[in-house]
Structure 1
C-alpha cells in the first residue's frame, strides 16, 4: 500500500539515536521507519539530505492569553510562531486569559476561542486558586492536563496564590483522582521589593533561597499527599540537590527549566531598559546557569520548555521594578537551546529528549514527541549547522519583543509537518505550501484512545 508521504534524512533523530532513515507517513501517523534508501511508494516524497529530521517539539508551558488579553497574544499568532519554531504541540497555561481556566465554563471559553485558529495541536492546563477545590475534579473530567498553582503573587489579581493550607487541600483533591499539579515555586516570605529599577536590585529581590524554600515545601506536600507534582521554570540551581534527593527517594516530583535560563545570564542583561530579559523567577548568573546544565544532563531537570509569556510592548517599558515579567521565545527555543547544548557537547538526540519526548511524557501525550511507528507524524526539518541572527521583525508571535534580538543562533527550522501535513512553506519544489490552521484541541483522553 502506498504511503501518503516519505521523508528521507541522513540525520533522523530517533529514540535510540541519530542515523540515516526514511520515515513513511500514512493517515497522519508514522507507518514505517526504514533504511534511508528503502523503496517506499508514496504520493509525495521529501529528501532532506543532511538536514536533520526531528520529532515535533512539545512545549508544555505557553501563555496564549486568549480570550480576554488577546492584545498580548492569541491562538493564531502563538501557534504560527510555534510551528515556525518546530513546536507541533503546546499546552496553554490557565492565566493570563480572562477568565482564567479555573472552572469548566472558563475551559469552554478557552476552547471556543481556540477552535479553528490553531496551526499546531493545543491542550489546556487548569488552575488551582483559592476557593476552586470543588471545581478541580470537573476540570479534570473535562480534559485539562493538570493544574497550575502559585505559591506567591502571580502578577494578575484574578489568579491569586494558594496559602499553605489551601495548597494542601488542592494537592489532596488532585491526588484523589490521579491528577498532576504544576507549581510556580517561589516562597513569598523570601521575596522583597526592588530597591531601584535596575536589574541587580530586581535579581536581589528574588533570591535563589526563595525557590529552594518553595520547592522544599512542595516536596514535603508530595510526601504527605502522594500527588504528582512538577516544578515549573526552575531558575535556581540550588534546587537541584533537594529535587535529586526527592527523586531518589521515589517521590513523584519532576522539574523543568527554560531556554532563557540555559542560554542567558545576569551578566548579559543591559541597563534598566533591557526589560525584555525580565521574568519571574529571574535569569541568574553564569555560574548558576552552568549548574542548571549539569542538573539537566543528570536528568534531575527533565525537560526544557519556553514559558512563552508575552505582553504588549507598553507593559515592557519602564524599568525592572515596573515592567511586566515574561520572556517571549516560542519561535526561538529550539535554536537557542541547540546553540548552547552543542557548545557543551550535547547532541540532537539529547535536545529532542528534553524538548519533545520528556514534555510529551509529562503531559501524557504518548503519540507526540517521538519519531516512532504509531506516533503522530509531527516532524521538523532542522538545519543544525546553519546560523542566523535573530531579527524581531521575522518573529510570528504578536509583538516582536525578545531578549534574543540581535543574537546569532545556530540551527534553522526549514519545515514543520503536523500529522504529515506541512504547516508552512516547504523547501522549494519538495511539497506544496501549507499554512491553513490544522491544529486540533487535545485532551488526555483523546491522546490515549
Structure 2
C-alpha cells in the first residue's frame, strides 16, 4: 500500500509539474504573440514613416531641381539682358579706337574711351564667370576634351596679356616651346583657366616683379606652373583661396575682380580630370600648378595652311535685328569696312521678305527676335528655294554652350556672340563671302 501511495504521489507531482510547464508555455506564447504584434505594428509604422520621408525627399528634390532650372533660366536671361547693352558699350568703344586715325580723339577722350572699354570688358568677364559657375554646379558643363599642347596655349595667353603686364611693370616671361608636350583637356576651357591664372599673377604682382611659366611632363601627366613674385598669402588664408566671391581681404584694392576666377578655374580643371593646386609664401609670391592627364595617342599629321588675310569684297548684307543700339553699331561697323551695302529688317517676317527680294550675299541674324525667333527665321530661309543657299551668321547675346551647339545644329555658318567682336565679325564675313577660300582651307585640314 505504501508503495502504491508513493507511486501515486510521484505521478501527481509529475502531472502538476507538467501542468505548470504547459501553463508557463502558454503564457510565453501569449507574450511572444503580443511582442510580435507590437513589432509588426512598429514595422508598419516605420514603413509608413519611411514612405512619408521618401515622398518628402522626392518633393524636396523636385523643388531643388525646379530651383536649379529657375536659376539657370534667370542667369541665361540676365546674361542676355546684360550682353545687349554691353554690345553697344564695347562695340562703339572699339569702333572709336579703330577710327581714331580718321577721327582723332583728344588725350582725355582717348583715356575715357579706354576706361569705357575696360569697364565693359570687366563686366563681360563677370557675366561669363557667373554663368560658368552656375553651369558647373548645376552639372550642365559641356567639355570637348582632346589632345592639346598646354604650353602652346600658355604662350598664346602670354602674348595676349603682354600689354597688360607692360603697363603694370611686370616681366611676363613667356615659356620656351617644348616639343611633344601633350595633355588631355578642353582647349578653350584650358585657355580660360590659364588666362585667369596668368592674369592674376600679373594683377596681384608688384612693379618690377616677374611672372614665370614652367611645364613638366611625366608618366603621370602634364603639369603647368605659374609663378609670381607678388605679396603672397598667409597660410591661414590658403583654405579660402578657391571659395567663390572671396577676394582674401583685397576687396578695397585697386585691382578689379569679383573673386570668381579661381573658383571657376579649379572646377573647370577638375571637370577635365585634372587638379589645380596652389602654394604661397607671404612676402615671396605664389605658385599655381595645373595638373592634366597625359595624352598618349599619337597625333595625326595635318597639312594645313592659314586663311590668307584679304579685304572684304563688294557685297549686300541683310541684318535682322530689333534693338536700335545694335542696329546703329552695325551701321557704323559696316561703314568703316566699306564696300558692303547694308539692309536692316527689325522682325523675322520682314527679314524673310527682304531676303527673298534682295537675295543678299550674306545674312546676319539675331536670335532673340520678337514673335519669330532667329531659329525659326533660319528654318524658313532654308525651306524657301530662293533663300536656302544664303550663308546665315547668327549674332546673339544668347551665348551659353547649349545655345552655340543649337546654332551649329540649326545650320548657321557661324555663331557669333554679343558683345560684338569686330575682328571676329570681319573674319566670319570673309569666310561667308569667299567660300572658295574656306573650302580650300577645310580641304587642306582634312588632308
Fold shared per TM-score above 0.5: no
The structure whose Rg is larger is 2
From the two aligned structures, give the one with the greater strand fraction: 1
Please report the TM-score for the alignment, with normalisation by the length of structure 2.
Answer: 0.23
